[in-house]
Structure 1
Amino acid sequence: MQLAPVFPILYRILQPTFPTCLWSANIQEPIVALTFDDGPHPQYTPQLLSVLDKYEIPASFFWLGVCVERSPEVAKAVYQRGHWVGLHGYNHQMFTSFTSPILKQNLAKTQLAIAQACALDLDYVQTHVRDVRPPNGVFTPQILKSLQSWNYRPVMWSVVPEDWVLPGVAVVVQRVLSQVQNGALIVLHDGFFGGADVAQSTDLIVKKLLQRGFKFVTVEQLWQLSGVV
């Protein structure tokens, strides 16, 4: 059973319940943030970068530490293009399975992997790479409290086409286009699950949204527009 029809309902319920997360931006302008989870991937991410280069638009990537360690050159290529980078945990294990100290170590380990791959000072990464999207979007109020006490910013979503089950490019594109609104935060995947179609899906999504007059921004810019931070 695919869960795609449920995600818009969850969004409408959870967004007002957890207002300190970034779910979207309440704005009138046709602006969206395009985000990608579970990478970097040695094949799918470079294909995706070619699409983003083609349209000259920014995106935001929520990385797994283990994937950064496996493909450091890809991570560096993403960062050097000016795309925004966030954390998705070290190995996609749900945050609810960790004790608070272990979760803190998990995120710090991912920051270290990013610093090493992108040739960045660790202090800089700890200060600037602090957006966190929990794997599978699963969190508790206590996890959010912990993240914020450690100076992380929780980032969620408003459009989730469930591309990781590979329903087909046409289905993914249709789901995004039918749900997108001004200030939307779109989630796609460039990792092992979903990544095989991500370049083609993104190409069509971006083309259609540009035709509708949408502008693409990073998660950092969406934070600023949202007024939450």
Structure 2
Amino acid sequence: MQLAPFFPLLYRILQPTFPNCLWSGNPHTKAVALTFDDGPHPVYTPQLLKVLDYYSIPASFFWLGACVNRAPATAKTVSDRGHWIGLHGYDHRSFPLLSPPELKLSLESTQQAISQACGVHPTSVRDVRPPNGLFTPQTLDLLNQWQYRSVMWSVVPEDWVRPGIKLVVQRVLEQVQNGSTIVLHDGACGGQDVAQTAKILIPLLLQRGYEFVTIDALWYGHGQKISPI
């Protein structure tokens, strides 16, 4: 069963319940953040980068440490393009299933992988999106205690199950609004279609007058800042 119809409802319930997470940006500003999870992938991410380059679109990537270690050159290319980088855990295990020491190690190992691949300071990468969108209040308390910033989502077209590029684009267009945080995937699940999806979606959103910004730009609207990578 596809879960895409339930994500808008979840967003409306969870966003006010956990206001310290970044779910979306300023509702009065016609800007959206295009974000990509589960990479970097040595094939799918470079394909996506060509589309982002063509439209001069900044994006935000939430990486798995294991994938960074498998494709460090791709990671470096993304970073060098000036895209925003965040953490998605080391190997996509749901955070509530990890003990606090395991969670901390997962995040720090991912930071270290990014540091080695991209030549940035490990602690400059502080945005965290939980794998599978799963978290508990304890998870958020730990992330805050360790000085990470929790990043969630507002538009989830469930592209990782590959329902078809046309349907993914349709779902985004039906849900997008000012400040939306759109989640797509450039990893092993869904990455096969991500470049073509972006190639269709980006010009349609531009035609609607949306500006593309990074997750960091959305945080500025919440009064929080972080050193650039």
Shorter-chain TM range is: over 0.9
Question: What secondary structure sits across from 1:188 in the alignment?
Answer: strand
Q: Residue 164 of structure 2 aligns with which residue?
A: 168
For residue 149 of structure 1, the aligned residue among 145, 149, 158 is 145
Q: TM-score, with normalisation over the residues of structure 2?
A: 0.96
Q: Residue 135 of structure 1 aligns with which residue?
A: 131
Q: Is residue 183 from structure 1 mapped to residue 179 from structure 2 by the alignment?
A: yes
Question: How many equivalent residue pairs?
Answer: 225
Question: What secondary structure sits across from 1:139 in the alignment?
Answer: coil
- Report the alpha carbon displacement of residue 30 of structure 1 after superposing the two structures with TM: 1.0
Computed over aligned residues only, the root mean square deviation of the Cα atoms, in angstroms, reads: 0.9
Q: Residue 125 of structure 1 aligns with which residue?
A: 122
Letter in 2 for 1:162: E
Q: Is residue 15 from structure 1 mapped to residue 15 from structure 2 by the alignment?
A: yes
Question: What secondary structure sits across from 1:90 in the alignment?
Answer: coil
Contact kept in structure 2, 1:27 and 1:225, CA below 8 Å: no
Letter in 1 for 2:100: S
Give the Cα–Cα distance (whole angstroms) in 2 for the partners of residues 226 and 208 of structure 1.
Answer: 27
Give the Cα–Cα distance (whole angstroms) in 2 for the partners of residues 25 and 119 of structure 1.
Answer: 29
Contact kept in structure 1, 2:26 and 2:218, CA below 8 Å: no
Question: What secondary structure sits across from 1:226 in the alignment?
Answer: coil
- Report the alpha carbon displacement of residue 217 of structure 1 after superposing the two structures with TM: 0.3
- Report the alpha carbon displacement of residue 228 of structure 1 after superposing the two structures with TM: 6.2
Give the Cα–Cα distance (whole angstroms) in 2 for the partners of residues 106 and 175 of structure 1.
Answer: 32
Question: What secondary structure sits across from 2:143 in the alignment?
Answer: helix
Letter in 1 for 2:16: P
Gaps of 5+ in 2: none
Q: Is residue 195 from structure 1 mapped to residue 191 from structure 2 by the alignment?
A: yes
Q: Residue 98 of structure 1 aligns with which residue?
A: 98
Give the Cα–Cα distance (whole angstroms) in 2 for the partners of residues 67 and 118 of structure 1.
Answer: 13
Gaps of 5+ in 1: none
Contact kept in structure 2, 1:21 and 1:154, CA below 8 Å: yes
- Report the alpha carbon displacement of residue 14 of structure 1 after superposing the two structures with TM: 0.1
Q: Is residue 158 from structure 1 mapped to residue 154 from structure 2 by the alignment?
A: yes
Letter in 2 for 1:193: C
Percentage of matched positions with identical amino acids: 65
Q: Residue 76 of structure 2 aligns with which residue?
A: 76
Q: TM-score, with normalisation over the residues of structure 1?
A: 0.96
Contact kept in structure 2, 1:20 and 1:228, CA below 8 Å: no
* Runs of 4+ more than 3 Å apart: 226-229
Question: What secondary structure sits across from 1:92 in the alignment?
Answer: coil
Q: Is residue 63 from structure 1 mapped to residue 59 from structure 2 by the alignment?
A: no
Give the Cα–Cα distance (whole angstroms) in 1 for the partners of residues 25 and 35 of structure 2.
Answer: 14
- Report the alpha carbon displacement of residue 137 of structure 1 after superposing the two structures with TM: 0.4
Q: Residue 108 of structure 1 aligns with which residue?
A: 108
Give the Cα–Cα distance (whole angstroms) in 2 for the partners of residues 151 and 29 of structure 1.
Answer: 28
Letter in 2 for 1:52: L
Contact kept in structure 1, 2:27 and 2:177, CA below 8 Å: no
Deviation readout 1:96-133 (Å, 9 max, x if unpaired): 1111111101100000000011123xxx221x200000
